[in-house]
Amino acid sequence: MLTRIAVFVSGGGTNLQALIDAAKAGKIRSGELCLVVSSNPNAYALTRAAQAGIPACTVDPKNCASQAEYEDKLLEVLRASRIDMIVLAGYLKILSPEFVARYPNAILNVHPALIPSFCGKGYYGLKVHACALERGVKLTGATVHFVNGEADGGPILYQKAVPVRPGDTPEILQRRVMEKAEWVLLPRAVEKVAREMARKKKD
């Protein structure tokens, strides 16, 4: 029985596309991409989901009175699709410890740096790469980790280093990290966790 996966997104959906492509290429065999949930009604990731034939919906935190109401709505759509596992792929909301506790060892996040560098609350998107360049590091990369109650604080599954080159801008570095690390590690981690979950379902 395949592990049922939801992908949470907020923007362009490049990591979602990497998962879609990996599934088509047979690199994700133990899980099925069953749902895409966006926090942003205008996210291009929703278009990517539609093109791939994956059901998608928007749960907009701006339409919710509180974090608890927002997360209750998330839980509703996850239950309706019988989701086993969640992948945060460019998702810009921080989930509460209470929400995370409902999916123990079943929520993955990809972060565009080598944790513990340039991580935690407020470190996302281009800001991470700008900080790496300002600091003058020679190596950066990406990390896939389990999500726990602390921002970017969960156990690490995979990391991959990527060189910083002279003349890099945050945009150039972001692209290199995505291509050389994020898009490589995320499908690998999803397959690993989905396989373990599928085995437990079977037992």
Q: 128: which 2 tokens?
A: 């991470």
Distance CA 50, CA 47 (A): 5
Find, among 168, 181, 159, 194, the residue nearest to 32 by Cα: 194
Specify whether the CB–CB gap between 107 and 114 falls below 8 A. no
Radius of gyration of the chain (CA): 16
What Å distances lie between residue 156 and 89, 98, 110, 147, 189, CA to CA? Answer: 16, 21, 10, 9, 10
Asked if 109 and 174 touch (Cβ cutoff 8 Å), the reply is: no
**Alpha-carbon span 143 to 145, nearest angstrom:** 6
Q: What gap in Å lies between CA 184 and CA 1, rounded to an integer?
A: 25
- Residue 131 class from Cβ within 10 Å (0-12 exposed, 13-18 middle, 19+ buried)? middle
Active site residues: 111
Report yes or no: 110 and 186 within 8 Å, Cβ to Cβ: yes
